[in-house]
Amino acid sequence: MHQTRPDGTLIRSTCDFCGKEWDPHGADLMIEGHQGALICTSCLSVAYSHVAILGEGGDLAGAKCTLCLEERAQPQWQSPANDAGKVCLRCIKQAATALEKDPESGWKRPRA
């Protein structure tokens, strides 16, 4: 999420899944969902491995996704650091596709 001052200027941005503060000079990028929800590329890689490759998260289908705010009947990844942080398979795939199209991201989806 973005933390802003009353005048709207940005204080800092943190991953909604691991709580890490985004470092503009660091290796991780942040993908933004609806209403300023953020997932860092480290969390995205873990989520992709568990849900898209290993097929886990089916028991969380129907939960509210932190990024798209919809209750999709799709497998979801739940952050081990934040029970409220869930991301659905659709958002995981969309974020992965967006990152791979950006040559500057340097992100590669995990392989099985």
The correct pick among 29, 30, 31, 40 for binding Zn ion (CB under 5 A) is: 40
Nearer to Zn ion, 9 or 25 (CB): 25
Beta carbons of 67 and 91 less than 8 angstroms apart: yes
Beta carbons of 55 and 75 less than 8 angstroms apart: yes
CA distances from 51 to 3, 75, 86, 96 (A): 29, 7, 11, 13
Q: Pattern 42-61, binding to Zn ion, x per CB under 5 A?
A: -x------------------
Q: Please give the residue ranges that form the binding site for Zn ion (CB under 5 A).
A: 15, 17-18, 40, 43, 65, 67-68, 88, 91
